Amino acid sequence: MNHRLLMAALAAIICPHLSGQSTVCRPAARLLAPANLERARQRVRTEAWAQAAFERLAEAARKLEAEPLPVFDTQWWETARRKRWQDIYPEVHRHAGAGVGGPLLKTPDAALAYAISGERRHADAVRRVLLHYADYPFVARHPDVGMTWAGWGMAGLRACDLIRDTLGSDDCRRLDAFFERALAAVRANDEDWIREGWGGRFNNHYAHHKLFIGTCGLVYGRPELVDHALQGVQGFCELIENAARDDGLWFESSLNYHFAGIAPAAEFAAALGNAGHPFDLWHHAFANGRRLRDFFVAPIATLFPDRTLPTLGDTYGARVSLRGHPAYFAAFDAFPETALGWLLQDAERPAAALTLTRLPEGSYPAPAMRTRLWPEHGYIALRSQEGTHYWRGDGYSAFLSFDLDGIHSHRDKFGLMVYGRGAHLAVDPETVASALHAFSARVQHELNRETVCHNTLMVDGRSHAPIGQKLAVVDFIDGSDCKLATVADFQSLVYPGVRLMRTVAVTPDYVLDVFQAASSTPHTYDYLFHGLDDQGAFAVKGAFTPVSLGLSPPWNWLRHARQAPVEGAWAATARQGNLTTRLLMAAEPGTRLITCQFPRTDTFAPPAFPMLAARRTASLTVFVSLLQAERGPLPEAAIDAKPGPYGRLRVAVRSGGTLREFTVPRLE
């Protein structure tokens, strides 16, 4: 009998439908097999890390016993339903999201504590919460509720799978009815997404929907739900084939969102394996050779030396580290590759690792890193220190974006981030929102997504226009002593009537930045730069006076603005501990330098991010700057830029007695 017929037979005997006689007490498949639990018990008995992990689980279970449970209100929806869906994110997340979902999301840890120890009080704590949520009313219709409810539903399914032997028949009937209603609500939302096109195709929301739908199919013996999650419209097969860029980066224009789409796929792959399903989502080769595995290996190539992802697009002020990332433990269990083991080898193991078959043991060599281009996405990494020595972080690493505007993108074309001498130097900051739902927070749409937050060029005080195509790569040099890239907007996509071109060169001693702007009429150009400093401000010489940047967003979020004319070369310095960073800019008459503080939080908690803008009004201008950092005296440096032959600009940089020359395309 093939697997589908077997599942159908089990469904007919055990779970003829999701309602009626079916119960989570007698599932068609287990989400965590007995062998996984026995492995966890053995580890807790014999391994110190496992004992510590179990104690965290037990503590979570003890806290859950007294966890306040939310009151479920339906009246809010009578008012909210009359508003545009774009305007009711806060209400939705208060009543259908993070505002009420916390206790249920905590049940899997407490349930695992019971499954390992057999301590009945842990199961009782879980049961109390599950039965409380059994009465939750799924009343809202909004783009975000499907993902939220799917998250709750998965937590509930995992918890029920672990405490099923403690549930009575009445409990099971109530929980079955809850999961039936949750499934119907998530499916309806998934269909709304497909019909309305919210967020575009291949959005990460689909992965969350399909995870819950497919897992219900496994638990309740309904193979059509499993097939729908895999093969249906915007199912995992379509997502893996179409949401990948380059060698496996998620298509949404934020590296932080990479795991928003991939973590649900990994969880479903593990559930399929535990259930004995014949489809191996971990290793299946889709069109163009795409595999789920690729999504775990590819992000490693983007990392800064501290193993953090570049903060592109929506990050909500979080810098994500892949060192010990929980999803990588499940991935290593499926395909124990060296690069994954290296990420995990010295990291604290999460409690979920207790049940895995394979864990990284011993030492793994670091992956060799290199300068590279991601042409499908639109990223460039220039690295002066390559190979395995890259991870020492002594050299300079620059990350330049020329991506189009996709989901979760910012107005950050030509955006530049730099890491060097063991620290982040040029940063892409986001102000942390205090609102419950950061995506719709005021600071997110008034400040964080705007051009003023990024290390790029702003024209006439306006943010970039959204663009539907990538910018042009003009130069890409991967030499032994110089890594250089030039990106250009010859079509005036970013600002109508303005052509822009940025060249970044990385050497062992500094990062050179040449940013050119050309237009037929004069414009005001702001070269924007954000860094890090222990006191939250740049040190710059000059006769600075206070200046108002305006009372409207995004300018009203900036604090302590001052300005000064700078006719000659100038420098701004910052300190992080014993590290000194200096941005040196070549002389250009008519330049005004503005310094200010960019808020770290929307409540303006210190320290701020130091920010500056070099402002000029012209029809043609070139900003030539040098970024250096040292844990000791900075070498003296000088920049000389002048037109060269063959439509090139020639830049000579003398630093510490060493002269290097560069030629870059010149905008006319």
Would you state the pLDDT for residue 20? Answer: 40
> Which residues of the chain carry a pLDDT beneath 50?
1-21
Sign of CA dihedral 175, 179, 180, 184: positive
DSSP-derived secondary structure for 627-660:
EEEESSPPPPEEEEEEE-STTEEEEEEEETTEEE
Residue 298 DSSP class: G
Is 375:243 a contact under the CB 8 Å cutoff? no
Number of neighbouring beta carbons within 10 Å of residue 604: 12
**Can you tell me which residue has the tokens 């570049």?**
310
Is 402:487 a contact under the CB 8 Å cutoff? yes
Average pLDDT over all residues of the chain: 94
Would you state the pLDDT for residue 25? Answer: 75
For the chain, the 3-state helix, strand and coil shares in percent, each to the nearest 5, are 35, 25, 40
* pLDDT tens per residue, range 486-537: 999 999 999 999 999 999 999 999 999 999 999 999 999 999 999 999 999 9
- Please tell me the distance from the alpha carbon of residue 500 to that of residue 262, in angstroms, as a whole number: 35
Query: What residues does CATH 2.70.98.70 cover in the chain?
Result: 372-665
DSSP-derived secondary structure for 342-405:
HHHTTSPPPGGGGG-S----S--PPPPB--EEETTTTEEEEESS-BGGGGG--SEEEEEE----
* CATH 2.70.98.70 fits domain 372-665: yes
Number of neighbouring beta carbons within 10 Å of residue 1: 8
* pLDDT tens per residue, range 387-419: 999 999 999 999 999 999 999 999 999 999 999
Would you state the pLDDT for residue 24? Answer: 75
- Please tell me the distance from the alpha carbon of residue 236 to that of residue 242, in angstroms, as a whole number: 10
- pTM given for the model: 0.94
- Please tell me the distance from the alpha carbon of residue 515 to that of residue 638, in angstroms, as a whole number: 17
